[in-house]
Amino acid sequence: MTAIATRPETEHRGTTAPPARRRDSERLFNRVALGTLIALAVLWLVPLAWALATSVRPAQEVVTNPTGWFTAHPTLKAYGEIFDAGKLPYWYANSFITSILTTVLTVIMASLAAFALSQTRFRLRRAAFVMLLAGIMIPGQVLMIPQFLALQSAGLLNTYWGVVLPQVPNVVAVFVFKQFFDGIPRELIDAARADGAGWLRTYWQIVMPISRPAVSAVTIFVFVGVWNNFLWPLLVVTDPEMMTLPVGLTSVQDVFGVPYAQLMASAVLGAIPLLAVFALFQRRIVEGIAGTGLK
Amino acid sequence: MRDRIPTPSPPAPSRRRVLRGGLALGASGAAALTATGCGSTLAQGFTGGAPSPSRLNFWNPFTGGDGERMLAMQDAYRASHRSVDLKSATFLWGNPYYTKLTLATLGDRPPQAAVIHLSKLPTLAEAGLLTALHPEDLARHGLTEDKFDARPWRKSQFNGKPHAVPLDTHPFVLYFRTDIAEKAGLLDNKGQLADVDGPDAFIDVLRAAKEVTGAWGGSIASVKDASMQFRIFWSLYRQIGGGDLVADQGKRVVIDTAAAAEALAYIRRLSEEKVIPANTDGKGAITLLTTGKAGFLMDGVWQALAVQSAKVKFDMRPLPRIFKDAPYACAADSHALVLPKAPSAKAQRLDLSLGFAASMLHSSKLWAEGGHVPAWLPTQRSRAYEELEPQSHYATAADGAVYDPAAWYGGAGGTMQTVVGDVVTTVFTGDASPTAGAARLRRELRTLASRPAPV
Amino acid sequence: MLLPFALFYLVFLVGPLIYTVIAGFFDTSLLRSGLGDFAGLSNYKAVLGDAEFWRTLGNTLWFTVLTTVPLVVLSLVLALLADRFVRGRWFFRFAFFAPFVLPSAVVSLLFMFIYADQLGLAQEAVKWFGVDTPPSWLGDPDWAMLSIAAATVWWTVGFNFVLYLAGLQDVPREVHEAAAIDGAGPWQRIRHVVVPMLGRTTTLVTVLQVIASLKVFDQIYMMTSGGPDGSTRPSLQLIYDTGFVEGRVGYASTVSLLLFVVILFVSLVWFALVRRAEKEN
């Protein structure tokens, strides 16, 4: 955590050019490697593919032949039934609203704090930094009981704020910003200050515009984290129409033994939004992890 | 599992547009939702305000075959109360359901009406989560004591006051395939099962059925179903005369380990003599019966519709009287409607909720078809119910109904059922001996009893 | 500028931590307001003497071992293999990483079906290998934790895979070439040259994995809710169950604090390791 350094991208290495007598073993090794990889990758895709395949099969067919893959009569009936049950649009909306709110608040607060720690000098700066560092080691889930009680006494259970607020103090996000801000040339800040800009203006007009990569990395990961959070919304949201997607999909039940086609359709519906985000931002996400400051 | 955030590597700003596009798309989606009526709910998400006064939220734990009937009963209510916006939600039975109900009530957003098991009533009422009902309010909706089965009505009282409106009694019973029983020569001339009472007699019956099916004599859920294992144990233990498991609201353990060991030994006999398989889950146990691989099934009455839907010849009867050391007993519980304590009278909607409860009771016939023995006497004593087959065949089981031991950790799907049921399972599968199981039961119960009660 | 964040930090992290410490000394109940009766050290005595506390801690550690080992080894192997191919890498990245972005709820739904008795793909699959009576994957105490761990490996291996791929970018091309000229085959090069150079990444991956696994809750809660016979119940579920299901906040706070100490210990070991690595550089 302390060794925060962004690694420059090296060019992709292909296989190295070996001496001629080594070429055969090299080629063989490559073939085995490729075969293994493809086999594993296909295996990795099986659960999602099976869910997709099951979700479009008629319910009766799933009962008679549960492990079949293909159907002669594909149907979207299971999806229709889920939508008819009526709560899915709420869950999507709730997940979307809470994720956006948390992300926005986190980005603003974490970047402000990081800016203060990185660029300004104040008393107790070091103490503040150490305290923050200690915060990384507090596992949030362990504090679920007092957090719940605090929100209960504030009357915020079953509101978006109840889901959002406890997820805002994200220490790692501060470090991500701080690491980025530390790399900003000092002269840039000094010049702005010399022009008479206050700290807030420097932050907003100089620093933030050039910190888009940090902002988007934090955005994506906070968004995904909040969208996928299960335990916390499970506690604070009990009203079926206030639930987030993961909680709603797994705690609100249908009567009379939910057909598997329908269960798999819910799984697919739950998977789609983030798979879409991933497909759109694949490189960004992967680069984000690759350049991780946690190294 | 993943609160890991990476830092960014040098910029790739072209993605920004995509991100913005995505946000805009989502925002417009949310706006569309707002425009189409979800709006007020979303607004509540920000303000925490109460839903509109015509709204009636109703929660239930009916995920078995009975849930289907509950939907029909709700439709009946909707048809006669068009101005009420009834919204129901079904949650997973047991601890998840009661935890949700508790957290919702603590969070000031409980449903106006909810179904609970009467075995849970003392704990919920003690915790102050239920609204006490006044006889004059109940009478206004025609809900008077004389119209209810005495046993569940008594269980609905807490500190001398009604806290629930009982809906049914649902005992643990015996399902059997009449065609298989007939082939095995087990039916008397009236088509009734003869000679199932007594420890050896019952096993003989199962063995006879096994010869016909070629697979198993009977079935019971034992995989992923601690509650079912609790029910068979509790029924037998009470028939042996073991009495209570705990006393003083769960603070003292009074289990009769000899009786427990005897009950466990019998349960073990069922799997050891290979008349009942020890590796079947809830769905599997029913499937064995409906596919003719077992002639008998020990299960709750709420599976009546699930078995009926398989369109095979079957009948139901009370659990046999296997031990005769004590009055007849079978594990049972009752569903009841309660009004979780709302933050204000306005949010409580007392009369709306009681009207809904009354309507549910008036639909008791529908509920009885789902397997439950109605607590509403006008239905229970009606001709129509008497003619309901096989549902009326086990109505007498309700007289031997024993509820779960009274303890804050007890009740339907609660910790005691899980703990006791898990021990019973280990004996049933042969992983532990009956005496070791009985000793472990006492140990586990003592651990539970030693914990300070939260209520 | 630090203030808004500091406020949230105090209210939602520091405050609750202090409350957890205090409530551990009281018989606090979820269902009664206030802290309740002073209990002294009785909660600590009860927790440390509670077989269930040790069993759930044991389950948690067992899960941590079951997931960390394959998640580190498998992701390293996958990355080493995938690193050899430039074309098609996006496909491997997609296949292995895509599950990581799914909510735990979706992962649980998928695997409850895959592990389902009689109907699931997993039982069907072992039948191909000649096992006639496959175990009940989630219903057999001997198999349930292994099954959940396998689902978890499927779910999260992509994260470590990507970290390793990034680590491999740091291995300079010249090292490879030099070793190849020395006559080292691909396997020797990987074993003696590349893997040792990934030491830092391995430390990082391992520690992150251990901390994440110690906090397991979601998939176990949804797939088995801790059963059968408590064989999969993790520490966090003990906190959830005692705190929210039973309402015994005082006791649950004590368990929370003890689990916190365990996680803190792991984090400190990590810091020490990183420090040492830095000094060596």
**Three-state SS letters, chain A:** CCCCCCCCCCCCCCCCCCCHHHHHHHHHHHHHHHHHHHHHHHHHHHHHHHHHHHHCCCHHHHHHCCCCCCCCCCCCHHHHHHHHHCCHHHHHHHHHHHHHHHHHHHHHHHHHHHHHHHHCCCCCHHHHHHHHHHHHCCCHHHHHHHHHHHHHHCCCCCCHHHHHHHHCCCHHHHHHHHHHHHCCCHHHHHHHHHCCCCHHHHHHHHHHHHHHHHHHHHHHHHHHHHHHCCHHHHHHCCCHHHCCHHHHHHHEECCCCCCHHHHHHHHHHHHHHHHHHHHHHHHHHHHHHHCCCCC
In chain B, whose CA is at the least distance from the CA of A289?
B6
Mutate to test the interface with A, among B1, B2, B3, B5 (most CBs of A within 10 A): B5
Give C207 or A85, the one with higher predicted confidence: C207
| Closest-CA distance of chain B to residue A284, Å | 8
What integer pLDDT is reported at residue B28 of this predicted model? Answer: 53
In chain A, whose CA is at the least distance from the CA of B1?
A229
In chain C, whose CA is at the least distance from the CA of A106?
C5
Q: Cβ of A130 under 8 Å from any chain C Cβ?
A: no
Q: Cβ of B454 under 8 Å from any chain A Cβ?
A: no
Write out pLDDT tens, residues B31-68.
555 544 456 667 777 877 666 778 899 999 987 778 88
Measured between alpha carbons, how far is B428 from C139 in angstroms, rounded to an integer? 14
What integer pLDDT is reported at residue B1 of this predicted model? Answer: 42
C residues 10..69 contacting B (CB < 8 A): 27, 29-32, 39, 46, 50-52
Write the CB contacts of B283 (distance below 8 Å, at least 6 apart in sequence). A257, C117
Q: Do A284 and B71 touch (CB under 8 A)?
A: no
- Angle, CA of C70, C72 and C73, to the nearest 5°: 65
Write out pLDDT tens, residues B285-312.
998 999 999 999 999 999 998 898 888 9
Q: Which residues of C touch B224 (CB under 8 A)?
A: 136, 138-139, 224, 227-228
Crossing angle of helices B15-33 and A88-119, in 10° steps, is: 140
Mutate to test the interface with B, among A64, A250, A255 (most CBs of B within 10 A): A255
Q: Cβ of C138 under 8 Å from any chain B Cβ?
A: yes
What integer pLDDT is reported at residue B33 of this predicted model? Answer: 53
Q: What is the DSSP string of B88-112?
A: EEEE-TTHHHHHHHHHHHHTT---S
Averaged pLDDT, A153-182: 90
What integer pLDDT is reported at residue A255 of this predicted model? Answer: 52
Measured between alpha carbons, how far is B217 from B330 in angstroms, rounded to an integer? 21
> Within 10 A of A276 (CB to CB), how many other CB atoms are there?
12
Return the domain boundaries, chain C.
18-24+40-280
Q: Which residues of C touch B415 (CB under 8 A)?
A: 241, 245-246
A residues 177..196 contacting C (CB < 8 A): none
| A145 closest CA partner among A160, A166, A164 | A166
Q: Which residue among B224, B408, B452 places its CB closest to the CB of C138?
A: B224
Q: Cβ of A137 under 8 Å from any chain C Cβ?
A: yes
Residues facing residue B340 across a β-bridge:
B130
Q: Do C240 and A14 touch (CB under 8 A)?
A: no
Mean pLDDT, chain B, integer: 88
Write out pLDDT tens, residues A85-102.
778 889 999 999 999 999
Q: Do B45 and A180 touch (CB under 8 A)?
A: no
C-alpha A74: how far from chain center: 33
Residue C95 token pair: 């296949």
Q: Which residues of A touch B104 (CB under 8 A)?
A: 158, 238-239
Q: Which residues of C touch B98 (CB under 8 A)?
A: 245
Write out pLDDT tens, residues B362-377.
999 999 998 999 999 9
Burial (CB count <10 Å: 0-12, 13-18, 19+), residue C3: exposed
In chain C, whose CA is at the least distance from the CA of A282?
C94
Residue A29 token pair: 């090794």
Residue length, chain B? 455
Stretch among A151-165, B19-33, B39-53, B270-284 having the lowest mean pLDDT: B19-33
- What secondary structure, in 3-state letters, does chain C show? CCHHHHHHHHHHHHHHHHHHHHHCCECCECCCCCCCCECCCHHHHHHHCCHHHHHHHHHHHHHHHHHHHHHHHHHHHHHHHHCCCCCCHHHHHHHHHHHHHCCHHHHHHHHHHHCCCCCCHHHHHHHHCCCCCCCCCCCCCCCHHHHHHHHHHHHHHHHHHHHHHHHHHCCCHHHHHHHHHCCCCHHHHHHHHHHHHCHHHHHHHHHHHHHHHHCCCHHHHHHCCCCCCCCCCCHHHHHHHHHHHCCEHHHHHHHHHHHHHHHHHHHHHHHHHHHHHHHHC
Residue B83 token pair: 């101005």
Measured between alpha carbons, how far is B263 from B233 in angstroms, rounded to an integer? 6
Token look-up 């990355």 returns C79
Residues facing residue B91 across a β-bridge:
A252
Residue B186 token pair: 């087990």
Crossing angle of helices C104-114 and A23-55, in 10° steps, is: 90
Q: Cβ of B11 under 8 Å from any chain A Cβ?
A: yes
Residue B25 scores a pLDDT above 70? no
Residue A155 token pair: 């009357």
Pairing of strands B252-253, B161-162: unpaired
Write out pLDDT tens, residues A182-234.
888 888 888 888 888 888 888 998 889 988 888 888 888 899 889 999 999 99
What DSSP element (H or E) covers B287? helix B282-290
B residues 67..96 contacting C (CB < 8 A): 95-96
Pairing of strands B335-338, B113-117: antiparallel
Q: Is the dihedral of CA B315, B206, B204, B238 positive or negative?
A: negative
Q: Which residues of B touch C155 (CB under 8 A)?
A: 1
Helix (H, G, I), strand (E, B) or coil at B297: strand
Q: Which amino acid is at C95?
A: A
Write out pLDDT tens, residues B145-172.
999 999 999 999 999 999 999 999 999 9
Residue C124 scores a pLDDT above 90? no
Residue B253 scores a pLDDT above 70? yes
Q: Cβ of B38 under 8 Å from any chain A Cβ?
A: yes
Q: What domains does chain A contain, in order, with CATH numbers? A: 20-80 (no CATH), 86-252 (1.10.3720.10)
Crossing angle of helices B257-272 and B199-213, in 10° steps, is: 20
> Within 10 A of A120 (CB to CB), how many other CB atoms are there?
14
B residues 82..141 contacting A (CB < 8 A): 87, 89-92, 96, 100-101, 103-104, 106-109
Q: Which residues of A touch C5 (CB under 8 A)?
A: 109-110, 112-113, 169, 174
| B112 closest CA partner among B351, B436, B421 | B351
Residue B21 scores a pLDDT above 80? no
Q: Cβ of A148 under 8 Å from any chain C Cβ?
A: yes
> Within 10 A of C206 (CB to CB), how many other CB atoms are there?
17
> Within 10 A of C73 (CB to CB), how many other CB atoms are there?
12
Measured between alpha carbons, how far is B208 from A93 in angstroms, rounded to an integer? 58
As a CATH number, domain B172-332+401-450 is 3.40.190.10
Name subunits touching B (3+ CB pairs < 8 A): A, C
Q: Which residues of C touch B454 (CB under 8 A)?
A: 29-32, 246-249
Q: What is the DSSP string of B34-64?
A: IIIIIHHHHHHHHH-PPPPTTEEEEEE---S
Measured between alpha carbons, how far is B82 from B86 in angstroms, rounded to an integer? 9
B7 in Cβ contact with C166 (< 8 Å):
no
Q: Cβ of A214 under 8 Å from any chain B Cβ?
A: yes
Residue C73 token pair: 């080894």
Averaged pLDDT, B121-141: 94
Return the domain boundaries, chain B.
55-169+334-386, 172-332+401-450
Averaged pLDDT, B386-395: 91
Interface contacts (A, C; CB < 8 Å):
286
| Closest-CA distance of chain B to residue A225, Å | 6
Mean pLDDT, chain C, integer: 88
Q: Which amino acid is at B254?
A: V
A233 in Cβ contact with A244 (< 8 Å):
yes
Classify the phi-psi angles of B395: left when phi > 0, otherwise alpha if psi is within -120 to 50, otherwise beta: alpha
Q: Which residues of B touch A216 (CB under 8 A)?
A: 8, 15-16, 19
Per-residue confidence at C214, pLDDT binned at 50, 70, 90? very high
A residues 68..107 contacting C (CB < 8 A): none
CA dihedral C203→C205→C207→C209, nearest 10 degrees, is: -160
Q: Do A157 and B64 touch (CB under 8 A)?
A: no
A residues 17..46 contacting C (CB < 8 A): 17-19, 22, 25-26, 29-30, 33-34, 36-37, 40-42, 44-46
Q: Which residue among A149, A230, A289 places its CB closest to the CB of C159?
A: A289
Q: Which residue among C138, C156, C251 places its CB closest to the CB of B2?
A: C156
Residue C10 scores a pLDDT above 70? yes
What is the ipTM for the molecules in this complex? 0.88
Measured between alpha carbons, how far is C126 from C122 in angstroms, rounded to an integer? 7
**Superfamily of B55-169+334-386 according to CATH:** Periplasmic binding protein-like II (3.40.190.10)
Measured between alpha carbons, how far is C9 from A159 in angstroms, rounded to an integer? 20
Per-residue confidence at A293, pLDDT binned at 50, 70, 90? very low
Residue B19 scores a pLDDT above 50? no
Write the CB contacts of C182 (distance below 8 Å, at least 6 apart in sequence). none
Query: Distances from the Cα of C80 to the Cαs of C74, C152, C186, in angstroms?
Result: 10, 21, 11
Q: Which CATH architecture has domain C18-24+40-280?
A: Orthogonal Bundle (1.10)
